[in-house]
Amino acid sequence: MDEMRDLAGLGSKPLFERARERLLAGDLDAADTLLQRGRSLAPDDGAMAYLHGLCLMRRGDGAAAATAFTIASRADPRDGRAVLMLTRALRDIGHTAEMGRLRAELARDHPNDAALLGEIASDLLEEGDEPTAAALLERVIEVAPDDPGALHNLGVACARLGSLERAETLLRRALAKGDRGKEGGQSRRRDASEAVLAGVLATRGFGDEATTIARGLLERGAEVVHAWTVLGTVAARRRRFGEAVDALLEAEALAPDDPGVLSNLAGALDDGGRRIEALERWRRLAATGHADAAARVRLATRTPAVGEAIRRLFPLSGRIVAENGGAGTGTVELDEVDLCADQWHLIDGDGLALDLVFTPPLGRDNFVVSADGEGNVLVRDDLERRRMDDAVVFLGGTTNYYHWLLDTLPRLAAIEGLDGPLLVNSALTVFQTRTLDLMGVEQSRLIVSDPASLTRFRRLTVPGLVARPRRVDGQMDWMRPSVGRAAAGWVRDQLLAGVGGGASKARRIFVSREGSLFRRCDNEAAVRAVVARHGFETVRLEDLSFDEQVSLFGGAEIVIGVHGAGFTNMLFAPRGALLIELHPAHHLPEFYRHLTGLMGQRHKAIPGVLTQALRPTLEYNWNFRIDPADVDLCLAAL
């Protein structure tokens, strides 16, 4: 080009102007040549160095860009934009420590520059550091409370962190503050806010509004992948797996390598029984480093990793020797079987029984690595092996209050006449020790097994085994109770006989979960104020001994609170007592409705809206908010 041949006669200013034009036109080579010449004439010119840094970043030369931005920042130490771009160049070349130091200084030195702080937060979001981004965006909102970009980004951060209600509020504010009908960046940001809002609403259970927003995006051709994903998510939550697959296939066609799309599609295909198609997506997802997908592939292809094995589920209750002609409860005698202590997974040959498992841990500590929905499971095979040659009677147990009282202690009714040590979970809690003492079990008879081992038992007797609800894939239906009226009544009578002292006066009890790390009612204080007007006293069960809890519930007229193991104490409440459970809408296990039915009591439930996702736990453990007016109306009607 003629203008490129005549650089010698140009000064730094015209070189700068021509370089900027070339950069805007996308002619990076020409812009670089002009800027190199300009910087040779004016090596300390901050603007020239900054523009060259932008050019070098677009050319992928992060190291040279970092040098240019360093010169630009030294030329004008007050110019935070140069330092911001320097941090991005340092990120590109892997100098994360220096990048982090400069970011911290930048945020400290420009506390009121909302635009600059917002840019730093955007970078943090892009890198997946949502907590730091959220903290920075909170500062931005203090400076510029109506900035739709900051409101959007903080909404995104909150959504990723699981703060669903806050995310929804922020995204609605971002949409309200943004200008409708504008083209370009503002229109794209509005579409992005709607897309994230639709996802949040779908997760919170507001499927109709989420669907309306997603369909509007599709009509405009905006955020199409996200919109199809939302439609698939809503359909899957409603167990319309065909609709879910159709929507997610549309998303996959547009974003075939998106991990979120692949995960949702693979899950919907599995739920719809389309195993082969699901496996193909799990394979692709595993290639991205997704650990759960990789485990599913190893199970499906029968290629366990070192330290793993594949087992076939079988119902241990199928081996019950019926007692007195009964078909649902009995005793099983087992020889040469393995137990994963405390979790109580039982291995017999190539089979795995889950009948003794009640509270399996989440994550890597779970003995079961993956399950295929067809009765096959991938399990750990790397535990230390131990052996027990003495004949042992299995009691089992868990530190979960409900499962201990109503799934474990009933076995004691069947151990009369059975000699030998009694196998229990390690690290017994105070309430476990107390209840065993009340039921006449001597501590000297108890034995434990190392929870980090797989123990082979020469002879294991499992008394009082109950045929538990089971899903079609062989897994236990973890959310359905199995205790019967006779067993619950026997445990109640045994424990009340030991505690003695009689019931307290009739009381209305509000059970607090304030301070709990999960399944928390976020506006408990407002609910507490309402129930207080109806004569309720607030108690924290964790502050009471087992005997004190028995006495408290022994005089309960009405009990209200968030679904939790403390409601097992309804076992000791009088006939006709009322339990009112507060819970996230659409997520209430049957345990206490079942228990109150067994005990001749009444049950009500008041649903609330999800506010905080606590992944990877199930949604009934997520935090929520109750409308105090709903509580007031319920109590006033009694």
DSSP secondary structure of 346-378: EEETTEEE-TT-S-PPSGGGSSEEEE-SSSEEE
For the cut 60, the answer to whether the pLDDT of residue 325 exceeds it is no
Q: Give the predicted TM-score (pTM) of the model.
A: 0.85
Residue recorded with tokens 């976020």: 522
Domain 1-87 class in CATH: mainly alpha
Kindly give the interhelix angle for 114-127 and 96-109, rounded to the nearest 10 degrees: 150
Q: What is the pLDDT of residue 167?
A: 96
Pairing of strands 351-353, 308-313: parallel
Q: What is the pLDDT of residues 347-373, one digit of tens each?
A: 999 999 999 999 887 777 899 999 998
Q: What is the pLDDT of residues 461-508, one digit of tens each?
A: 999 998 888 887 778 888 899 999 999 999 999 999 989 766 567 699
Q: What is the pLDDT of residues 151-204, one digit of tens each?
A: 999 999 999 999 999 999 999 999 998 765 555 556 888 999 999 999 999 999
How far is Cα 154 from Cα 131, in angstroms, rounded to an integer?
10
Q: How many CB atoms lie within 10 A of CB 438?
A: 19
How far is Cα 57 from Cα 59, in angstroms, rounded to an integer?
5
Lookup: tokens for 86 = 């320097």
Output DSSP code: residue 563. Answer: S
Residues of the chain with CATH 3.40.50: 501-636
Mean pLDDT on 25-45: 91
Kindly give the interhelix angle for 485-499 and 591-598, rounded to the nearest 10 degrees: 80
For the cut 90, the answer to whether the pLDDT of residue 329 exceeds it is no
Q: What is the pLDDT of residues 109-166, one digit of tens each?
A: 999 999 999 999 999 999 999 999 999 999 999 999 999 999 999 999 999 999 999 9
Mean pLDDT on 244-250: 98
Annotate 145-172 with DSSP letters as a single string.
Answer: TT-HHHHHHHHHHHHHHTBHHHHHHHHH
Average pLDDT score over the chain: 91
Average the pLDDT over each of 16-25, 83-92, 499-508, 553-562 and give the range with the smallest value: 499-508
How far is Cα 102 from Cα 70, in angstroms, rounded to an integer?
11
The set of residues, in sequence order, having a beta carbon less than 8 Å from that of 413 and lying 6+ positions away, is 464, 487, 490
The CATH-assigned architecture of domain 501-636 is 3-Layer(aba) Sandwich (3.40)
Q: What is the pLDDT of residues 579-638, one digit of tens each?
A: 999 999 988 999 999 999 999 999 999 999 999 888 778 887 899 999 999 999 999 999
- Count of residues in the chain: 638
Helix (H) or strand (E) segment spanning residue 142: helix 130-143
How far is Cα 54 from Cα 77, in angstroms, rounded to an integer?
18
Q: What is the pLDDT of residue 326?
A: 45
Gyration radius from the chain CA atoms: 32
The CATH-assigned architecture of domain 192-303 is Alpha Horseshoe (1.25)
